[in-house]
């Protein structure tokens, strides 16, 4: 048995010496046979290297249970990316569902963006109602809206707040903050028999009040420019200052407009136009009055 082993080792040694000698002399060592052709060992090794480099890549990562690394097929990265995408899609879907539910279920029907409140310099308010509801403007700690109402428009554009509502109940109250002493522009409109009671003094550079088949009762109006318009409605207001401080233009096609009990235009005065610019020198304020149909305007000054 030992002699057989020694003989095999001798044959193997002679073969290896012949292989090295043949390779040193420029020969080829053939180690595989496929596709009907003998292939040298170097070609086989090269093909194997290409296969591994094109099909296998080294990956390493850290997870909760420790560090992982190893050689993986090319589709490993694709599988990892698919898992990540599935997790991200699931998270986004859950977020959108939660956000949609909070938007539709928990937010109140009326809300104000807190960041915009201190920037409000212009107010455009419109109130309408077919049931003769009362809309009251009062002062308080901050902006607010209370009562039974429906929002038609609630928009903020830089310094302007535009609000249009329909009163559904007996009374709706708009609260303006006491800390705001004056505004740039104020526009208030009453429509469809809505009754607006302005129980807080309004001070602004320009104030426009429109009573369109509704009524407006204002506590005090103080502005450099005032425009009051009534169409088949009524408007009552106190004006800040002396009558001699106002340049007044009034027009009517029927209903009366009075100032401190004196009819400026209307059926009793016998005139449809009034302008006092000739009798008032250096007016401080501009007052423009328009009366249409059976409308009525009654004004009084504080002095």
CB 262 within 8 A of CB 252: no
What's the confidence (pLDDT) of residue 25? Answer: 54
How sure is the predictor about 276, in pLDDT bands with cuts at 50, 70 and 90? very high
How sure is the predictor about 258, in pLDDT bands with cuts at 50, 70 and 90? very high
How sure is the predictor about 128, in pLDDT bands with cuts at 50, 70 and 90? confident
Nearest residue to 161 (alpha-carbon basis) of 187, 135, 138: 187
pLDDT average, residue stretch 112-118: 61
Which of 100-109, 138-147, 287-296 has the weakest average pLDDT?
100-109
Q: Which two tokens stand for residue 190?
A: 């009453």
What's the confidence (pLDDT) of residue 300? Answer: 94
**Residue predicted with more confidence, 28 or 256:** 256
Mean pLDDT of the chain: 77
**Residue predicted with more confidence, 169 or 137:** 137
How sure is the predictor about 262, in pLDDT bands with cuts at 50, 70 and 90? very high
What's the confidence (pLDDT) of residue 93? Answer: 57
Query: Tokens 């305007």 identify what position?
Result: 297
- Domain of 206 in residue numbering reads as 120-301
Nearest residue to 218 (alpha-carbon basis) of 236, 206, 230, 203: 236
- Distance between CA atoms of 219 and 197, rounded to whole angstroms? 8
CB 295 within 8 A of CB 233: yes
Residue 59 inside a domain? The answer is: no
Residue 12 inside a domain? The answer is: no
Residue 10 inside a domain? The answer is: no
Residue 137 inside a domain? The answer is: yes
29 has a pLDDT exceeding 60: no
CB 251 within 8 A of CB 272: yes
pLDDT tens digit sequence for 186-223? 999 998 888 999 999 999 999 999 998 889 999 999 99
pLDDT average, residue stretch 5-30: 64
Residue 47 inside a domain? The answer is: no
Q: Which two tokens stand for residue 35?
A: 């596709």
Residue 67 inside a domain? The answer is: no
What's the confidence (pLDDT) of residue 100? Answer: 37
**Residue predicted with more confidence, 102 or 205:** 205
Number of domains in the chain: 1
Model pTM score: 0.63
CB 258 within 8 A of CB 299: yes
The number of residues in the chain equals: 303
pLDDT tens digit sequence for 237-255? 999 988 889 999 999 999 9
Which of 18-22, 96-100, 188-192, 295-299 has the weakest average pLDDT?
96-100
Residue 71 inside a domain? The answer is: no
How sure is the predictor about 85, in pLDDT bands with cuts at 50, 70 and 90? low
Residue 94 inside a domain? The answer is: no
């Amino acid at each position: 048995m030992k002699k057989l082993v020694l003989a095999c080792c001798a044959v193997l040694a002679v073969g290896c010496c012949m292989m090295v000698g043949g390779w040193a002399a420029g020969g080829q060592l053939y180690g595989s046979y496929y596709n009907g052709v003998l292939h040298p060992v170097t070609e086989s090794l090269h093909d194997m290297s290409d296969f591994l480099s094109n099909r296998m890549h080294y990956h390493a990562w850290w997870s909760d249970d420790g560090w992982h690394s190893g050689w993986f097929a090319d589709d490993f990265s694709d599988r990892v990316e698919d898992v990540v995408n599935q997790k991200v899609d699931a998270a986004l879907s859950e977020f959108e569902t939660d956000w949609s539910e909070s938007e539709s279920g928990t937010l109140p029907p009326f809300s104000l963006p807190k960041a915009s409140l201190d920037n409000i310099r212009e107010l455009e308010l419109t109130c309408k109602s077919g049931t003769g509801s009362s809309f009251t403007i009062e002062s308080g700690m901050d902006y607010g809206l209370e009562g039974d109402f429906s929002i038609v428009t609630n928009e903020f554009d830089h310094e302007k707040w535009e609000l249009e509502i329909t009163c559904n109940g007996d009374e709706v109250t708009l609260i303006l903050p006491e800390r705001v002493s004056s505004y740039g522009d104020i526009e208030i409109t009453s429509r469809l028999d809505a009754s607006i009671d302005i129980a807080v003094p309004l001070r602004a550079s320009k104030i426009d009040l429109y009573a369109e088949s509704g009524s407006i009762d204002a506590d005090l109006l103080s502005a450099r420019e005032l425009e009051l318009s009534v169409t088949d409605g009524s408007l009552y207001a106190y004006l800040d200052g002396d009558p001699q401080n106002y340049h007044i233009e009034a027009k009517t096609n029927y209903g009366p407009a009075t100032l401190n009990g004196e009819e400026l235009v209307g059926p009793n005065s016998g005139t449809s136009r009034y302008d006092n610019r000739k009798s008032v020198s250096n007016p401080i304020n501009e007052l423009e009055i328009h009366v249409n149909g059976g409308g009525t305007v009654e004004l009084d000054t504080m002095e």
